[in-house]
Amino acid sequence: MTTLGHLINGSRVAGEGRHQDIFNPSTGEVGSRVSLASKATVEDAIAAAEAAFPAWRDTPPAKRARVMFNFKQLLEQNADEIARLIGQEHGKIVHDAKGELQRGIENVEYACGAPELLKGEHSKNTGPGIDSWSEFQPLGVVAGITPFNFPAMVPLWMYPMAIACGNTFVLKPSERDPSAVLYIAELALEAGLPAGVLNVVNGDKEAVDTLLDDARVQAVSFVGSTPIAEAIYARASANGKRCQALGGAKNHAIVMPDADMDNVANSLTGAAFGSSGERCMALSVAVAVGDDAADAMIDKLKAQMPSLKVGPYHDADNDFGPVITRAHQEQVCGYIDSAEQQGASIVVDGRGVQVPGHENGFYVGGTLIDHVTPEMTCYQEEIFGPVLLVVRARSMEEAMQLIDDHEYGNGTCIYTRDGEAARYFSDRIQVGMVGINVPLPVPVSYHSFGGWKRSLFGDLAAYGPDAVRFYTKRKTITQRWPSSGVREGAQFSFPS
């Protein structure tokens, strides 16, 4: 059986010591193994990144950008293979895997603009004969730690921009689906990145802790669940590192009585069940305003859901695939059990779904649960499965209050035909990314991605303009060249 190792200083390094099985969630079988890096292996990767930094820092931004142009082309040329690798270890259907790759490629495109983005700011004559400018200098070695659910896109949120800004990078991807990550990193090397500029170490807590504690690592970008994000932010910050840690979510959609219910049902179906609900922007709670809206929405969903196709990743006719592990399958079904026990109504039940020929895969069918209330466990916690909860509210204010009271604030959406209501909602709601009749308002690559409340720890969001700030430090230079013969005496008052 293949054991995946690491990519350090431009070469694949065989793993040694501890390792973990990688499953094919569509079949439930183990496909390969991944090595879990020791502290020493991670230190080798950091050393390689540190050694590569001085030359990369001094490489002109236009040359760095040229590597990104090549990288983009290679990603496009190899999209089929990348989608296959994602599907095999993650379980998402190939069309969905290609969608995530495309969103990742858009971040590479943004990084191609590095010369423009790093131009800095210049002011001439800030005083007599004095000029002043700000530069955005790279930080040095930067680490990224990424989740299983977007093995291509989330790493591409991080290292293209970090590297285009002149940093060198150590990536610790999810140990559950690392093949696509390694394959893509090799394409980045093929595109022209010098050895050591991008390193990938596979591993678990031991690898992450090494990255968080090593003084050579200047900044840490993390995406994953909230408890881990919070712990990582605390530890990295205590160690004096810059850190952004994006966490979990519970994204609500408000369905107003005037909404187009066909559109609501179509888009909720995709946004709740696509990728088996394993998206941090999945819409997992529909808050219907008024019983009439709730009943109309549920009727439409009930009519659509029997035609949902759940099955293995390689069949492009499927709508969504399995969840990531057997343990996660059991956890998702446990949330459905708890909803039932706590008094909610299971309208469509995805527990025990069978996929012929793939009986051991980790499948959960699309599930719709009505009469959910805020006290219920299924409402309070992130389920991360193909489960849509319906909460009934009496007014828009009550619906908005629910959203504001929830600990997460990643994404949200309102379905309405009323521009005034939509404007009020987008202005007041305490959530970082808002959709108006748009179910998955994931910002494009030239904006930035970030939730509020316990969905993001740190000051700057991921990718886009915030990434330029996150991966650089500002230096402001004030310059004067006294003309010969002019000499001032000492000045004791503050310069003004």
Active site residues: 280
Provide the 3-class DSSP secondary structure of residue 427.
helix
Smallest separation (angstroms) from ligand NAD to the CB of 486: 56
Inter-CA distances, 343 with 38, 301, 348, 369, 370, Å: 47, 21, 15, 10, 10
Residue type, 328: H
Query: Counting contacts by CB under 6 A, is residue 42 touching ligand NAD?
Result: no
Among 185, 280, 372, 389, binds ligand NAD (CB under 6 A): 280
Among 205, 309, 394, 480, binds ligand NAD (CB under 6 A): 205
How many residues sit in the footprint of ligand NAD (CB under 6 A)? 27
Query: Counting contacts by CB under 6 A, is residue 177 touching ligand NAD?
Result: no
Inter-CA distances, 431 with 43, 333, 375, 412, 449, Å: 38, 28, 21, 7, 12
Among 204, 315, 381, 404, binds ligand NAD (CB under 6 A): 204
Cβ-based nearer residue to ligand NAD, 161 or 396: 161
Torsions phi, psi for 251 (to 5 deg)? -90, 125
Provide the 3-class DSSP secondary structure of residue 48.
helix
Query: Counting contacts by CB under 6 A, is residue 225 touching ligand NAD?
Result: yes
> Applying CB under 6 A, which part among 24-32, 41-49, 81-89, 223-231 lies near ligand NAD?
223-231
From CA 406, how far away is CA 44, in angstroms rounded? 42
Among 88, 107, 455, 472, binds ligand NAD (CB under 6 A): 455
Q: Which two tokens stand for residue 57?
A: 């820092």
Query: Counting contacts by CB under 6 A, is residue 246 touching ligand NAD?
Result: yes
The dihedral formed by the CA atoms of 42, 48, 53 and 59, expressed in degrees to the nearest 10: -130
From CA 63, how far away is CA 57, in angstroms rounded? 11
Smallest separation (angstroms) from ligand NAD to the CB of 349: 24
Cβ-based nearer residue to ligand NAD, 178 or 365: 178
Burial class of residue 354, CB neighbours in 10 A (0-12, 13-18, 19+): exposed
Burial class of residue 125, CB neighbours in 10 A (0-12, 13-18, 19+): exposed
> Applying CB under 6 A, which part among 224-232, 252-260, 331-339, 359-367 lies near ligand NAD?
224-232
Smallest separation (angstroms) from ligand NAD to the CB of 55: 29
- Which uninterrupted H or E stretch holds 477? strand 472-480
Smallest separation (angstroms) from ligand NAD to the CB of 160: 16
> Applying CB under 6 A, which part among 51-59, 171-179, 302-310, 475-483 lies near ligand NAD?
171-179
Inter-CA distances, 313 with 4, 25, 89, Å: 21, 9, 9
Smallest separation (angstroms) from ligand NAD to the CB of 96: 14
Smallest separation (angstroms) from ligand NAD to the CB of 351: 21
Query: Counting contacts by CB under 6 A, is residue 248 touching ligand NAD?
Result: yes
Interface with ligand NAD by CB under 6 A: which residues? 145-150, 154, 172, 174-175, 204-205, 208, 223-225, 228, 246-249, 280, 382, 384, 410, 451, 455
